[in-house]
A and B are shown apart, each in its own frame.
Chain A
């Protein structure tokens, strides 16, 4: 007989149509799986009652890999085949991993695709395959617990994950036989767990202090959609550092030498961690450790002493919070709620300091280790179709920036990448030449500065712009991406209302690998791109100035003496020559020279037009208008 869960009123499912969905927090150190049962979202424990699955995979020759606690036990004895913290490698190439600046015990290999691999006794493994093993273990746990096959999962990722890292996470899910309904940002999941998405708008700070990493995210909620305003953090700061400080204090007090053996150090760290955890409940804790001389040292650590030890580290996280708020261009008073994530936020001192900093007591009711998985489970339940449609959250983002071509072949980004959809953005453009009556809109996608390096999506023209001087027309170009990722671009001339538009599917025909490549290129070529952009901008400016001077010469050329005219012509010719070159600075100087040569001319033109305007009028008409 099947075991039933209580449904919401009117939401009972038909037999065999129950849709099972779980949320997965795929963490650097530990992973969790959570599901919604009888209206309550909770993490699912394994047979021995443990909720956390260590994110560790141990590969064996000719045998199934081990995942979790079993793998963890082999981490010291067989480091080469035991993969720890694989999340740090997701979507990264070998060059990126080297930049992580850590001594890693693995043997990396690079294949012709951009992905790096780790050599094990069971063959070369990509980070995606390793992550898939972790996901497979969680999937199995969930299917046994829920009594059926999963219809879909939501996997959480850090807010700062780029498109390649997100894609790698999705691929790992696919490889583990999961239907990934959506990737959800970890801070967003935490906010969802607290039901903060039920409000219509507001700013939320998510403070995530885990074992080895610290992240702060500032989210803005707008009409049920979370937008990441800014993120900051430290990939090498966490609870482990607190433990180390306490262990060092014990060593100092007990007179234990720094060069103690590994086993003793590990013992000390465990004692330190236990003391830290105990001090969240009580005000002092007795410590007893073995010293070098073999005599046990007995001591006491008070909460005050602990605070003195850890305050500098907490201050460090607060400095990051301050910087991140500045990036988001808000101050603490704008933050309505502070959500605590990560085991280290159990420390009373951390909660106190955060409360002081934000001037609001942080939300701590949900277990900070589980809160992300719980939020993912709630989201998964909605996405799999167990909730009415109107509760559906739309949190998808566009993978690459969308923009259009401007003068000089430059790409102007209208919708930056990672913007949540649906989205509408508009920007005004103007004409480049006097009397211009049509404009071609070239829609492009990509992160590069030059249109030629981006992907062309569509081209269309706007006709019927009334003839005006250059720069006077106002053409509003709107980009709209709907919930399915369909982009429509509309150009509208503001004075006459003439309009033209086109519709495209931006991700059509673009493989995940190509998206990854495009992102990679944009990072590699960042420097070149800036230079190229500067050059093109100067060239466009030179063209514009020359165009204006030529137009003025045609009308008022007789105002100039032969010498003056020669000077201007010379500057014009010089600039034209420079414009064909690639020296942005020289072009800039050329523009300045032409400007100087035409100053007199411009002044005289001004006088003439003033005289013309005044001709036939009495001065009093202007002073005392009738």
Chain B
């Protein structure tokens, strides 16, 4: 089981957390919704769940609930810039199909 993060993504997450002034890390997850089955969850963590799997990468703690982990194993979180738009990107090897916009996916 592994979850990783690019240096750029880690840098951003750290600066967002500092700016926010609270939070212990980042939550990655999936929920069943959207036009192609599942959607990513990307949230700040204030209180971790005891059942969460915890990964530490590039000095950032990543929390994932066990159910989501099945769909996310091997994922690398990246921070990308597309023109003026910028944000986080899940490079998930489990994905078989995404919807047109890429906001939801299928495994």
Interface residues of A (CB under 8 A from B): 1-12, 14-16, 37-40, 44-47, 141, 144-147
Contacts and interface: CB of A to CB of B under 8 A. Distances in A.
Given A9-B44, A12-B41, A14-B34, A145 B88 contact: no
B13 interface: yes
- Top 5 nearest A-B pairs by Cβ distance? A3-B87, A15-B103, A1-B102, A15-B34, A145-B84
A141 B35 contact: no
Given A1-B98, A39-B16, A15 B39 contact: yes
Contacts of B27: 9
Given A16-B103, A39-B44, A6 B16 contact: yes
A39 B85 contact: no
Given A2-B101, A7-B44, A16-B101, 10 more contacts: A2-B102, A3-B89, A6-B42, A9-B46, A10-B43, A15-B104, A37-B87, A38-B87, A40-B16, A40-B20
Contacts of A11: 43
Given A9-B45, A14-B39, A15-B103, A3 B31 contact: no
A45 B102 CA distance: 25
Contacts of A38: 12, 16, 87
Given A14-B34, A15-B34, A38-B16, A4 B43 contact: no
Contacts of A8: 43-44
Contacts of B43: 6-12
B97 to A, nearest CB: 12
Nearest to A44: B84
Interface in B33-57: 33-35, 39-47
The prevalent SS among residues of A at the interface is loop
B70 interface: no
Contacts of A15: 33-35, 39, 99, 101, 103-104
Contacts of B107: none
Interface in B71-93: 80, 82-90
Given A9-B43, A15-B39, A15-B99, A4 B87 contact: yes
B59 to A, nearest CB: 16
A190 B35 CA distance: 40
A4 B44 contact: no
Contact of B42 (A4, A44, A144): A4
